[in-house]
Structure 1
Amino acid sequence: MIYIDNEGVTDPHVNLAIEEHCIRHLPEGEDYLLFYINAPSIIIGRNQNTLEEIHQAYIDAQGIHVVRRISGGGAVYHDHGNLNFSFMTDFSKNKLNNFKEFATPIIEVLNGMGVAAEMKGRNDIVVGDKKISGNAQFSSTKRMFNHGTLLLDCDLSQVSQALDVKMTKIQSKGHKSSRARVANIVEFLDAPLSTEAFKEKLLAGLFPAGVERQTYRLTAEDWASINALVEEKYRRWDWNYGRSPAFDIQRTRHFAAGIIDFRLKVKRGGTVENVKIYGDFFGQRPVSDIENALIGVRYDKDEIEAALKGFDLYAYFGDVDRGEFIDLIYGPDEV
């Protein structure tokens, strides 16, 4: 097994691009191990509706990244207290969905550190009834990887808030995350440990004395490919949000002008396909003008604001605050 040095990168867009580049371009017939630590971020599963998983207003306020990965499974929170591992190997039907095979070496090292970790369910590593790691897989016809989180000393308050969905009645065909009780590994250690020191302990356990540890260092050509992947995919709204399955949203709010009820259909690709506005408000102009202005617009707050910039909302609804009106279409629910 060859260890891949990611050179201390903590940008989740780059780390996910490194992982994808390596699984697609490094030589077949070799097994690789990649560790990486991400800055605060929500990592969305390949088949999920991003908006159904996150509290967008909180994420914006906290500067948390939102990035979609190429593997399936649920949304997870990463920060500097979380260590991510990725085992890369040739594709095998016996390894597909066999999360235990990949997790066992990690579990054995944790056990050696005094952490009573074990595999439970399909893809979780737990201590008692608390989850400390979730795993997911990606496979092509020739190669595959199994990657997972290791919650060492993660800010669990951020987990609950960043993944706390605040939008009403989202109905989609995406795979919704299930939330489990989680804990930090540091709770089960005798003394605190930095994430880098934790990584080194894992490496020492996975490559014990007498086992040669080869290290692969990314070349200039590798970095050129990785950086192109970052810009063409992992930093793009189209990938992180627009790849969400088609979904419907119903949003209702009480304004001084009355009740406004928005029904939106967003197609795969993230653009608004249909809009209907209902309510008991009084307006001079037909709301079909607003509905038509939003059709074809990307379901993104800035895009929605731009589409409605030239409209006098008072003429359509009466006394409504523009910011609150935009929040009705795209924003957190009222508390």
Structure 2
Amino acid sequence: MPNKKVQTKIIQSLSFDPWYNLALEEYLLNKVSENQMILYLWQNENTVVIGRNQNPWKECRCRELENEGGKLARRLSGGGAVFHDLGNLNFTFIMDKKLYNLENQLKIILQAVKKLGIEAEFSGRNDLTVQGKKFSGNAFYFDTNSAYHHGTLLINTDFQKLNRYLQVSKEKLNSKGIDSIQSRVVNLSSIRSGITIEDMVKSLEESFIETYGETIKEIHKAIFTEEIEKLYHKYASWEWRYGETPSFDITFQNRFSWGDIDIGLKLENGYIKSSLIYSDAIDYDLIQEISQSLEGVPFCKEDIINRIESIPIKSNNRIIIEDLKEWFSTKNI
């Protein structure tokens, strides 16, 4: 029996409000139909977006950002903090989970960049690079029946603001062999002069159509249906963006090949009463699972390692679990 033709749609948001754009993204994720693939294009103005499990106070100079009219936002997916302005274009592939195909999705982006005269490649755990410098970071989210893959495209971003608002640990910079964020990233307009956001939008749409066939395009103004308004209030809320910042009895911090981790534990009568883990690991779900699994465990090296070891190992989380077991084995607990 032949495969059903994939239903496709291109949606572009005209809002520059990160809380609205993230609300619309989640709304589309919840509403995507069987055998459907959506390309969602959006921009945020003067915004820092942090990953699902990140500590905003460590990733962003929040006071400077907000004093200068910027906004902090937290997304559903894992990964690290990014700066968005109107020199940056965001893309999201939103799909029936059965259609998820990272190779296809990356090919659309790389072909779109190539149409503009630039050869680029996928690099590391989630970056697109040109001439060894990053112009796009990617992150991923999987729900029960749907999924998304989203990322940034630096066209003409203000790197002075990027440097001012983002805080990156010296360990992270050193691990990449650089001394500043700016030395690692590049605007596509500096590689090929004259490239605009409009050029990239057109190129992405063409590349998407070449892969999936003719489609329809919808332009979304900031229209608030009841469902979008509810999601907007979530993304705009202090609780979602900043969350609880409790005091801990003990903390552990380290950097691994898959990302930074900062584990805070509150103890009571020799047991772990509560656990909170901050991380820029791409596997957002696993980080939350580890955090929850530690609660109620005796504060003892062997018990902590055994609990981490009890988490089901999948192909994509093996290295994280093994690294954490080895790391805790060196702790004087």
Deviation at 1:81, TM superposition (A): 0.5
Does 1:239 find its partner at 2:245? no
Taking a change above 3 Å as real, the CA distance of residues 27 and 211 of structure 1, as seen in their structure-2 partners, is closer
Taking a change above 3 Å as real, the CA distance of residues 220 and 62 of structure 1, as seen in their structure-2 partners, is closer
Output the CA distance in 2 between the equivalents of 1:245 and 1:148.
Answer: 31
Deviation at 1:165, TM superposition (A): 6.3
Aligned to 1:45: 51
Output the CA distance in 2 between the equivalents of 1:54 and 1:210.
Answer: 38
Question: Aligned partner of 1:130: which letter?
Answer: K
Aligned to 1:73: 79
Does 1:186 find its partner at 2:189? yes
Taking a change above 3 Å as real, the CA distance of residues 247 and 236 of structure 1, as seen in their structure-2 partners, is farther
Taking a change above 3 Å as real, the CA distance of residues 5 and 102 of structure 1, as seen in their structure-2 partners, is closer
Aligned to 2:257: none
Aligned to 2:203: 201
Higher helix proportion, which one? 2
Residue 119 of structure 1 aligns to a residue whose secondary structure is strand
Residue 95 of structure 2 aligns to a residue whose secondary structure is strand
Aligned to 2:271: none
Aligned to 1:26: 32
Output the CA distance in 1 between the equivalents of 2:110 and 2:40.
Answer: 17
Deviation at 1:247, TM superposition (A): 5.9
Aligned to 2:159: 156
Q: Describe the superposition over 1:212-251 as per-residue Cα deviations: whole angstroms up to 9, x where unpaired.
A: 12224669997331122102x011000000166876899x
TM-score of the superposed pair, with normalisation by structure 2: 0.64
Output the CA distance in 2 between the equivalents of 1:3 and 1:214.
Answer: 5
Aligned to 2:108: 105
Contact 1:118 1:126 in 2 (8 A): yes
Deviation at 1:7, TM superposition (A): 4.1
Deviation at 1:72, TM superposition (A): 0.5
Question: Aligned partner of 1:41: which letter?
Answer: T
Q: What is the root-mean-square deviation of aligned Cα atoms in Å? A: 3.2
Contact 2:108 2:211 in 1 (8 A): no
Contact 1:99 1:123 in 2 (8 A): no
Q: Describe the superposition over 1:20-44 as per-residue Cα deviations: whole angstroms up to 9, x where unpaired.
A: 0100123222111100011110001
In the alignment, structure 2 segments of 5+ residues that lack a partner are 1-6, 170-179, 252-265, 267-273, 277-333
Output the CA distance in 2 between the equivalents of 1:162 and 1:209.
Answer: 37
Output the CA distance in 1 between the equivalents of 2:211 and 2:51.
Answer: 37
In the alignment, structure 1 segments of 5+ residues that lack a partner are 167-177, 251-264, 270-335
Contact 1:82 1:195 in 2 (8 A): yes
Map 1:284-295 → 2, pairs under 5 A = none
Taking a change above 3 Å as real, the CA distance of residues 246 and 88 of structure 1, as seen in their structure-2 partners, is farther
Aligned to 1:115: 118
Larger Rg: 1
Taking a change above 3 Å as real, the CA distance of residues 112 and 75 of structure 1, as seen in their structure-2 partners, is same
Taking a change above 3 Å as real, the CA distance of residues 68 and 210 of structure 1, as seen in their structure-2 partners, is closer
Deviation at 1:188, TM superposition (A): 1.6
Map 1:1-335 → 2, pairs under 5 A = 2-92=8-98, 95=100, 99-164=102-167, 181-189=184-192, 191-208=193-210, 211-216=213-218, 223-231=225-233, 233-242=234-243
Question: Aligned partner of 1:194: which letter?
Answer: T
Taking a change above 3 Å as real, the CA distance of residues 165 and 60 of structure 1, as seen in their structure-2 partners, is farther
Deviation at 1:130, TM superposition (A): 0.3
Output the CA distance in 1 between the equivalents of 2:197 and 2:246.
Answer: 35
Between the two proteins, the alignment pairs up a number of residues equal to 238
Contact 2:33 2:96 in 1 (8 A): no
TM-score of the superposed pair, with normalisation by structure 1: 0.63
Question: Aligned partner of 2:69: which letter?
Answer: G
Taking a change above 3 Å as real, the CA distance of residues 28 and 60 of structure 1, as seen in their structure-2 partners, is same
Contact 1:126 1:133 in 2 (8 A): yes
Question: Aligned partner of 1:90: which letter?
Answer: D
Contact 1:246 1:268 in 2 (8 A): no
Residue 201 of structure 1 aligns to a residue whose secondary structure is helix
Aligned to 2:172: none
- Structure 1 consecutive aligned stretches of length 4 or more whose deviation exceeds 3 Å: 98-101, 208-211, 216-222, 243-250
